[in-house]
Amino acid sequence: MDPLTLGALGFLVLIVMVVLGVHIVFATALTGFIGIAILKGWTVAANVAGIIPHSTASNYLFSVLPMFILIGFFAHASGMVGGAYRAARAWMGWMPGGLAISTVLAAAGFGAVSGASQATAAVFARVAIPELLKFKYNPSLSAAAVAASGTLASLIPPSAALVVYGAIVDQSIGRLLLAGFIPGVFSALLYAAFLIMRFSINPELGKPIRGVSWRERGASLSGIFPIILVMVLILGGMSTGWTTPTEAGASGAFIVFVYALLRKKLDLKTLNNSLIETATLTVMIFSTFWGVFIFARFLAFTRLPTVIAEWIVTLPFEPTTILAAILVGYAFLGMFMSASGMMLLTLPVIFPAIVELGIDPILFGILVVKMIEIGLITPPVGLNVYVVGGIRTDIPIHQIFKAIWPFVAVDVLTVILLIMFPQIVLFLPNLLMGSGL
């Protein structure tokens, strides 16, 4: 069989297997192994399948992932989210929609130590929504604000999604993490601007909080100090070249660990659960890497990605138009698939075309993650909305989806602005290129 035909058939078989519910690690590894065996023989296929797991696990760059995951579990155990939320409420509660804005900013802060979108949405569904409802905020808008705010964790470092992207396309993880900071903060500020406008037009959606003294505001700052310290360590360490991303992640995990101990929130059972959950999630992600890299090697043998890249480049459209079409495809896939699964499935095919089009790989990574964020809150399968709805069963899912659309519009505006002004993404990594990242 012609290699290109075999590559296309293998990709089709993979999609069918994923749709039927086969876990992506088994679907990719099996398809890739059989494809290589057909093209090159069983000996080559066995060698590839044997070498890739070791080369993947022994790659120092990948050691950053368990560190970032561990930060998230320790942060959750320490109750850090409560401190961030109280501080945001004390300083922003007086504004129109102040409590909803506080939720957005606190979620962005927690995202800076969590890195997991669904985890952030779940935590704030438990912490923020009861407060919002206590002050008579509109229930569906409150839930939508929490679901949308949770997506910020996918972009603001430490971001597991950016680590996965960098690992797949062999880009600097340090530069990607730095590149995600400004767009993440920018997204949070646009959410806040939308909420100010919405609550100014219709104050009945939620009343401002009055009567918070300056003393209370000052005291609340202690709740965000650990978050700021972790952010400074991670971003400052990487940007100055003092630490690698892995060392920065380990330092951040240690700080959150000590903070949890000082607050007496981390007993042996919680510590054990955090370590086991970190190991479990890390093994799951690494296993997915192994399967997808076997499949990617199969595609490389068929030359399918190269042919597709050459075809995309010759299309009679501007690169920006082609980029927009690719991003729309990611938004669609984001409704049904996890971020890591989606990128692992598509990037081996799509990324060569992006390089040929002359689009900056760092910029493309941020845009892909942003589109994944949009997919997490759009129907019919917006995972973040279902997480919030599953926790707050008193708020109907269809009402949350109805209230989520303005946040989707804000996200689309953010993507357009990032494409129009790529320096929003590239400013930090370009400024700090001399640090060795």
Q: What is the pTM of this model?
A: 0.79
Has residue 56 been placed in a domain? no
| Enclosing H/E stretch for 239 | helix 237-240
Q: Is residue 5 part of a domain?
A: no
In the chain, the number of structural domains is 1
Radius of gyration of the chain (CA): 22
- Looking at the domain assignment, is residue 55 inside a domain? no
Q: Is residue 50 part of a domain?
A: no
Measure the CA–CA gap between 104 and 162, rounded to whole angstroms: 21
- pLDDT band for position 424 (cuts 50, 70, 90): very high
Q: What residues make up the domain containing 187?
A: 64-435
What letter represents residue 207's amino acid?
K
Q: What is the mean pLDDT of residues 300-329?
A: 82
pLDDT on residue 338:
66
pLDDT over 80 (residue 323): yes
What is the structure's pLDDT at 122? 80
Whole-number pLDDT of residue 380: 67
The answer to whether position 48 is within a domain reads: no
When pLDDT is averaged across residues 178-193 and rounded to a whole number, the result is: 92
Q: Grade residue 291 by pLDDT with cuts at 50, 70 and 90.
A: confident
Contacts 24+ apart (CB under 8 A), 405-411: 406/194, 406/198, 407/144, 407/145, 407/147, 407/148, 407/191, 407/194, 407/377, 408/374, 408/377, 408/378, 410/187, 410/190, 410/191, 410/194, 411/148, 411/151, 411/187, 411/370, 411/373, 411/374, 411/377
pLDDT surpasses 70 at 432: no
Residue 145: the pLDDT is 92
Q: Does 33 reside within a domain?
A: no
Q: Which of 235-239, 265-269, 336-340 has the highest mean pLDDT?
A: 265-269
For residue 143, being part of any structural domain is answered with: yes
Residue 205: what pLDDT?
82
List of long-range contacts for 83-87, beta carbons under 8 Å, 24+ apart: 83/220, 83/222, 83/223, 83/224, 83/226, 84/109, 84/110, 84/223, 84/224, 84/227, 85/124, 85/127, 85/128, 85/131, 86/220, 86/223, 87/220, 87/221, 87/223, 87/224
Average pLDDT over residues 273-294: 80
- Contact present, 419 and 156 (Cβ < 8 Å): no
- Residue 361 inside a domain? The answer is yes
| Rounded CA separation 118/147 (Å) | 8
| Residue 56 binned pLDDT confidence (cut-offs 50, 70, 90) | low
70, burial (CB in 10 Å: exposed 0-12, middle 13-18, buried 19+): buried
48-52, 370-374, 383-387: range with highest mean pLDDT: 370-374
- Do 121 and 147 touch, CB atoms closer than 8 A? yes
pLDDT value at residue 194: 94
What pLDDT score does 246 carry?
A: 80
